Amino acid sequence: MVSGPSSLSLRTHTCGELNVDHVGKWVTLCGWVQYLRQDLFVILRDFSGLTQILVPQEESASKVKADLCDLTVESVIMVTGTVRKRPAGQENKMPTGEIEVLAENVEVFNVSKKLPFEIKEFVKKSESLRMQYRYLDLRSSRMQKNLRLRSQLVMKMREFLCNEHGFVDVETPTLFKRTPGGAKEFVVPSREPGLFYSLPQSPQQFKQLLMVAGVDRYFQIARCYRDEGSKPDRQPEFTQVDIEMSFVDQEGIRTLVESMLQHSWPAEKGSIQVPFQTMTYEEAMRDYGVDKPDTRFNMKLTDISDIFSSTQVEFLRSALDQPEGSIQAILVPCGALFTGRELESIKQTAKTQFGQRPLLGSLRLQCAELLESHGRPVRDPLAFHFLWVVDFPLFLPKEDEPQELESAHHPFTAPLPEDTALLFTEPHKVRGQHYDLVLNGCEIGGGSIRIHRASEQLYVLKNILKEDPSQLTHLLEALDFGAPPHGGIALGENYQVFL
Amino acid sequence: MVSGPSSLSLRTHTCGELNVDHVGKWVTLCGWVQYLRQDLFVILRDFSGLTQILVPQEESASKVKADLCDLTVESVIMVTGTVRKRPAGQENKMPTGEIEVLAENVEVFNVSKKLPFEIKEFVKKSESLRMQYRYLDLRSSRMQKNLRLRSQLVMKMREFLCNEHGFVDVETPTLFKRTPGGAKEFVVPSREPGLFYSLPQSPQQFKQLLMVAGVDRYFQIARCYRDEGSKPDRQPEFTQVDIEMSFVDQEGIRTLVESMLQHSWPAEKGSIQVPFQTMTYEEAMRDYGVDKPDTRFNMKLTDISDIFSSTQVEFLRSALDQPEGSIQAILVPCGALFTGRELESIKQTAKTQFGQRPLLGSLRLQCAELLESHGRPVRDPLAFHFLWVVDFPLFLPKEDEPQELESAHHPFTAPLPEDTALLFTEPHKVRGQHYDLVLNGCEIGGGSIRIHRASEQLYVLKNILKEDPSQLTHLLEALDFGAPPHGGIALGENYQVFL
């Protein structure tokens, strides 16, 4: 069977593939009328590009001419004819710019009504109009390219995982029991009054159970749900590349992800270098004031507490007197460009976010944005800086009850082996085997080596997190029936923002 | 980077791959203790198979010996040691039956409690116990094989569609507006009081809109939902291979599906022949009494009305006197084996299902089952008989109001071109461009060429189906903005039953 994008189709070729090698060929094209010119040309479009159709002018072809010249923009037609070289001087730089097709037959599939907006990149459309007529918005070459890029990228990831590394694509249920603590889950009423399904936020428990089941290597392009209202970068349903492996350590998972991204990375975006930079949580907070630093630019935080060690300036004094209080500086090159109003906005941020953890990180980004608004390039929009952040604290004080601890990520993350003994003495000092993947300051993935022993999992739930372990009986029981050491990662949909 | 199932792993090899070529090699295996034998051997299992571990008996290895001999069944360990040829006479026919690994180091990852059932194929387990401990059930070699077979089969389909035929994998939303007439949809309460999402039964409308969007070729391994209670072959959530193409006819879709199945078919199941047999709906009903005939065996219906044309036997007479009434026979070879009780059960079926359409089809299957219960083979359990059923009626009389028509499949199916004129005069005679794929008497897929003109779609909705077209305004509007001719298919999850 013939393969390629025109297999099994009414057309013989796509509108983007004809060139001088096809001159003299009898071809059939199908597509949308991009525009008509002077009753002489019809520009026909499909997903792959544009071809110029020459309208025949002879009396004997008057029916074809009439059919073509009556067309409205975005009507759908099939044209059959011969590929010709364009007359000298009429060529252009488009991929099909050296040829045209002289129409000999035309079939009109559908005549289009006047569209609410034109299918042209340069025509500005409002977001709401684009959403209302999403099927028209998707006709633009940019959206066509994006849809195809995503499909191909995911396909390459699948090939890498499935064909090269023995991963098994397993579909996990989405209608299931509520996850303990999963406050943001959608519920789905069942046929039994009072009983509800829940749409899970991630297949976390399923994939751990698959490891207990001996599946060894699992992946899924998993649909996940989160009931917290729509935000520009958070949608109620989203997709993650979900991975879990048995008999692996942190290093193994990280190398796998680096190789997968390298394998699937679109050639047109340049190559990416592995291994990625790695930074501890402590370093990230110290140098960038945030756990997902944008490492495309410098402007690191500098601790200048020493200079002010004997200061009597009151607000500096009081900062230093606080436990772990410090005075930090950000050197902003060309910061002298900032206007009074801009400096005021920086101060305002500092005031409103004072005492919140990522304040210094926010100020650093704000300075970068301000510099860029003055025409000073700071962050290269074409650069991709991947970064692993590791050695997160396993527990953090609860916001409302700082004496209590909660999981920094989730209660299934294993402690660093060298910190395990601290679980029983100083749990707030334990670092977890958790790793976040950061790209240009966005968290695009996160994962961990999991706890695989029931006794350790029970201790964390009951004694440290003070949670009722009865809700996780099924998981604790599974760990007791021969759970292998295992770990994984989820790469989120933020990843797509960059493509 | 090394590829294969042991890449990036703590192990060097899987438990199923070692053979005499590895003799002398220093290897590390990870897996579950299948069983222990006489303090001499530990049989270690992973997804790929079993390896015999030899317990060292020397005094100097007493720690390793003690660790191994203390293990419980299904404990998880890592063993390092040297591959040896088994002593003569101790080999067996297993893939690893000529070698063993002399343990030199062992690490115990997890000691297993006593399991609720053994991980052995021949141990009978109740369905409910298997479901309760699904992660233990999945450890069996049969379930491991099935999960992997499914993953690989779907991967091959993806490669065929995406890499060979230019299909684009597009994820469509599952939290969406209610489909008009979608009575069996789950609802999901939103954050706005009184407003609900709905989980769609299929991406039908999305994929048609993607064709209007010029995506040209779409596929998705789509999660679908149906709120009608669980039955053995119908689950509330299921997965279908969902396909839609532009500029294609019935023949094109059918050839695509045949080639895709041929491409992805597991080699161990033998090859499948294309093109598949094709039968009209009329032929299927006439010869098999059902629209999804099992063509693995004959026993066709034979119309013997003529023989009885002048009968005075009352029940035969009254059958013949009905509109389209007939008398049909099924020749059952060796039917003389049937006992009186069995003949009675056949009569009972005929009585209770009398007047329902697939009665004769049911009787034919019932006879086949009875013959098989007498040890007469009728249906080859290893044979795969694919069949296309085509030329379905586009509309059927409504069950409760036979004067009204409803769609035989769905309201978007296009009529056969030669029947289009009948839409306006005798719509009940119109045949649709619908095709069902049947395998061994099970419907495993169905699709159609769709209506692509708004005026025709509106006429069907309003004048024939008497439905309120305002609920489908968005689709009708989309068809008016340049919809290409298009069609598709959905292959359902019944497909997996046969693997």
> Residue A434 carries which DSSP code?
E
How many angstroms separate the CA atoms of B294 and B443, rounded?
10
Q: What angle do CA A49, A55, A61 make, to 5 degrees?
A: 140
CA–CA distance from B298 to each of B44, B227, B337 (Å)?
49, 37, 18
Quote the pLDDT of residue B118: 84
- Residue among B448, B447, B409, B416 at smallest CA distance from B431: B416
How many angstroms separate the CA atoms of A13 and B250, rounded?
20
How many other C-beta atoms are found inside a 10 Å radius of the C-beta of residue A427? 19
Work out the pLDDT band at B471, boundaries 50, 70, 90: confident
Q: What angle do CA A302, A308, A312 make, to 5 degrees?
A: 145
Contact yes or no for B350/B239 (Cβ under 8 A): no
How many angstroms separate the CA atoms of A207 and A215, rounded?
9
Q: Is A397 helix (H, G, I), strand (E, B) or coil?
A: strand
Work out the pLDDT band at A120, boundaries 50, 70, 90: confident
How many angstroms separate the CA atoms of A476 and A457, rounded?
7
CB-count exposure of residue B394 (10 Å: 0-12, 13-18, 19+)? buried
Say if B219 is an interface residue toward chain A (CB within 8 Å): no
Q: Is the model more confident about B230 or about A274? A: A274
Contact yes or no for A109/A67 (Cβ under 8 A): no
Tell me the chain B residues in contact with residue A252 when contact means C-beta distances shorter than 8 Å.
8-10
- Residue among B416, B399, B394, B400 at smallest CA distance from B464: B394
CATH numbers and ranges of domains, chain A: 20-110 (2.40.50.140), 161-295+382-499 (3.30.930.10), 297-379 (3.30.1360.30)
Average pLDDT over residues A226-240: 82
The residues near A176 (Cβ < 8 Å, ≥ 6 apart) are: A197, A198, A200
A469 has pLDDT over 80:
yes
B230 has pLDDT over 70:
no
Average pLDDT over residues B438-457: 96
Contact yes or no for B136/B117 (Cβ under 8 A): yes
Residue of A138, A162, A256 with shortest CB distance to B8? A256
Element (H, E) at B491: strand B486-491
Q: Is B252 helix (H, G, I), strand (E, B) or coil?
A: helix
How many angstroms separate the CA atoms of B431 and B265, rounded?
32
* Each residue's pLDDT tens digit, A396-407: 999 889 899 999
* Each residue's pLDDT tens digit, A363-391: 999 999 999 999 999 999 999 999 999 99
How many other C-beta atoms are found inside a 10 Å radius of the C-beta of residue B77? 24
Quote the pLDDT of residue B498: 45
Element (H, E) at B102: strand B99-110
Q: Which two tokens stand for residue A429?
A: 């000092």
How many other C-beta atoms are found inside a 10 Å radius of the C-beta of residue A122? 5
Instruction: State in Å, rounded, how far the first CA of chain B is from the last one.
Output: 34
Is A3 in Cβ contact with B209 (below 8 Å)? no
How many angstroms separate the CA atoms of B111 and A454, rounded?
10
Quote the pLDDT of residue A497: 46
Interface of A with B in 289-328 (CB under 8 A): none
Say if A460 is an interface residue toward chain B (CB within 8 Å): no
Average pLDDT over residues B241-251: 98
Quote the pLDDT of residue B319: 87
Closest chain B residue to A240, measured at CA:
B171
Pairing of strands A328-330, B168-169: unpaired
Instruction: State in Å, rounded, how far the first CA of chain A is from the last one.
Output: 34
CA–CA distance from B290 to each of A427, B293, B395 (Å)?
68, 6, 17
How many angstroms separate the CA atoms of B138 and B484, rounded?
46
Quote the pLDDT of residue A338: 95
* Each residue's pLDDT tens digit, B66-100: 999 999 999 999 999 999 999 999 999 999 999 99
- Residue among B453, B417, B421, B446 at smallest CA distance from B432: B417
* Each residue's pLDDT tens digit, B379-399: 999 999 999 999 999 999 998
How many angstroms separate the CA atoms of B168 and B245, rounded?
10
Per-residue burial over A273-286, b if 16 or more Cβ lie within 10 Å, else e, is: eeebeebebeebbb
Q: Which two tokens stand for residue A52?
A: 């110029």
Closest chain B residue to A477, measured at CA:
B113
- What proportion of chain A, given as a percentage, has pLDDT over 70? 97
List A487's β-bridge partners, or say none.
Answer: A245, A449
Q: Is B317 helix (H, G, I), strand (E, B) or coil?
A: helix
- Residue among B73, B29, B72, B37 at smallest CA distance from B55: B37
A494 has pLDDT over 70:
no
Interface of B with A in 271-290 (CB under 8 A): none
CA–CA distance from A24 to each of A20, A21, A64, A101 (Å)?
9, 9, 20, 10
At position B228, the amino acid (one-letter code) is E
- Residue among A129, A133, A140 at smallest CA distance from A113: A133
Residue of A155, A452, A481 with shortest CB distance to B158? A155
Average pLDDT over residues A49-78: 96
A496 has pLDDT over 60:
no
* Each residue's pLDDT tens digit, A271-307: 999 999 999 999 999 999 999 999 999 999 999 999 9
Say if B8 is an interface residue toward chain A (CB within 8 Å): yes
B499 has pLDDT over 60:
no
Among A9-23, B27-41, B79-93, B177-191, the minimum mean pLDDT is found in: B177-191
A155 has pLDDT over 50:
yes
Work out the pLDDT band at A235, boundaries 50, 70, 90: confident
* Residue B491 backbone zone (phi > 0: left; psi -120 to 50: alpha; other: beta): beta
Per-residue burial over B23-36, b if 16 or more Cβ lie within 10 Å, else e, is: eeeebbbbbbbbbb
Average pLDDT over residues B461-466: 95
Is B168 in Cβ contact with A148 (below 8 Å)? yes
Q: State the nearest Cα–Cα gap between B149 and chain A, in angstroms.
A: 9
Tell me the chain B residues in contact with residue A9 when contact means C-beta distances shorter than 8 Å.
245, 247-248, 252
Altogether, the residues listed in chain B come to a count of 499
Q: Which two tokens stand for residue A327?
A: 């005075």
How many other C-beta atoms are found inside a 10 Å radius of the C-beta of residue A84? 16
Give A130-166 as a DSSP string.
HHHTHHHHTTSHHHHHHHHHHHHHHHHHHIIIIIIH-
How many angstroms separate the CA atoms of B104 and B90, rounded?
21
Give B39-80 as a DSSP string.
TTEEEEEETTEEEEEEPP-SGGGHHHHHHHHTPPTT-EEEEE
Element (H, E) at A26: strand A26-37
- What proportion of chain A, given as a percentage, has pLDDT over 90? 84
Q: State the nearest Cα–Cα gap between B293 and chain A, in angstroms.
A: 28
Contact yes or no for A303/A328 (Cβ under 8 A): yes
* Number of inter-chain CB pairs under 8 A, A vs B: 246
Quote the pLDDT of residue A240: 95
How many other C-beta atoms are found inside a 10 Å radius of the C-beta of residue A4? 12
Residue of A76, A216, A246 with shortest CB distance to B483? A76
* Residue B39 backbone zone (phi > 0: left; psi -120 to 50: alpha; other: beta): left
Q: Which two tokens stand for residue B14?
A: 């899987």
Tell me the chain B residues in contact with residue A1 when contact means C-beta distances shorter than 8 Å.
255, 259
